Structure 1
């Protein structure tokens, strides 16, 4: 879910009905996210026992729930512009018994006034909704501004080089994933047209450049499932 005010029109798609159906709609992609959560746990394992984690574009709270289950002293700030999504997230944290370690912020990155810098941040499947390159850069800058020096940042987004000779095969495989997920054929036909229009079509190297320009070390590519790619890095001192 985008947390850039430049992309606020995307809020329309995440009303209460969409929020309630979100977790089941993409159930076929659950193994992708389970793997992403696992490797995120690995790269964050060295954080303090009382670390404060910012989950940007937290949606229904999947990464916060997973990390809270394995790091019992961590505190989480879940930020998302969709109140409906955060309502679902709060219901899930209530059921898991971790709401007392969570703060919920309805809004965009620039509206978050945290009391102290965070030890780490996650941004999963968020910034690819910000199709304007300058706005996407500002989004990473806003995250960086809220992190301590040396803090860990883990980012995952759809990214692909449309000029690569292998791109058509990658797109075909991605559409095959959508078919398994139950997307109607008409939706699968229009997705290639959306790529680069409604979803940013930055190649992985460009995403790395944007992250690094926000005062992060060179991002380390550590995850890929079809078009979903992930990086981890640290904020520069």
Structure 2
């Protein structure tokens, strides 16, 4: 799927996005809880880059936990970013945020960040070299030694384990009141529009983007997360 198609899809889904995924929130909340610990040694005035921030869940968790941190929220979907901006205003953290509608390559020059988040974003880049360049773009916005917490869907799709995880994943979606049509579209997307790769392969792509060998720190079903540092 071309990036313009992905942007259009999220623009279309933005208004009902949080409600649609509300019943799967425990997966995100667990990752955010871990994220707070992974980033806990950052400076009290740390600058955090949130790539593909969506409606801002991880940003608002970190903002509530670390009141001195500032955030750069990067999101190509204007509709998703509008929701994130309105929520920031309602929660009183907008003054600590720079909102950028677009991609990293169009983000104005700002001070380097001490850490970045990138959750369920790189999986939409099907070409492995482009995916490594995407992580390189994140690295270029970070200080040397800065942290990256990233997550993507991951599995060896040729393995019998994948079918077990996929079936459980789809059953969870059904239990979370995701419509049958949406689940069918999801299955099709996983086969054609999402680069679901073995975890080790994704780690090597992150490393090729300019990070130390990533450490897998989280798994919930098909979602895997890694912690790495900019070289």
TM-score range, shorter chain: over 0.9
- Superposition map of 1:1-237 within 5 A: 7-15=3-11, 18-236=13-231
Aligned length: 231
> Distance between the aligned counterparts of 1:233 and 1:191, measured in 2?
29
In the alignment, is the contact (CA less than 8 A) between 1:131 and 1:197 conserved in 2? no
Could you tell me the TM-score, scaled by structure 1's length? Answer: 0.93
In the alignment, is the contact (CA less than 8 A) between 2:20 and 2:178 conserved in 1? no
Bigger shift: residues 197-206 or 42-51: 197-206
RMSD: 1.5
> Distance between the aligned counterparts of 1:51 and 1:108, measured in 2?
22
Shift in Å at residue 190 of structure 1?
Answer: 4.8
> Distance between the aligned counterparts of 2:214 and 2:139, measured in 1?
13
Task: Specify every segment of 5 or more residues in structure 2 that has no aligned partner in the other structure, as ranges.
Answer: none
> Distance between the aligned counterparts of 1:20 and 1:193, measured in 2?
23
Shift in Å at residue 187 of structure 1?
Answer: 3.8
Could you tell me the TM-score, scaled by structure 2's length? Answer: 0.95
**Residue deviations 1:20-72, cap 9 Å, x none?**
21111101110000011111110100001110000000011111111000101
**Residue deviations 1:198-222, cap 9 Å, x none?**
1112111111000011121111111
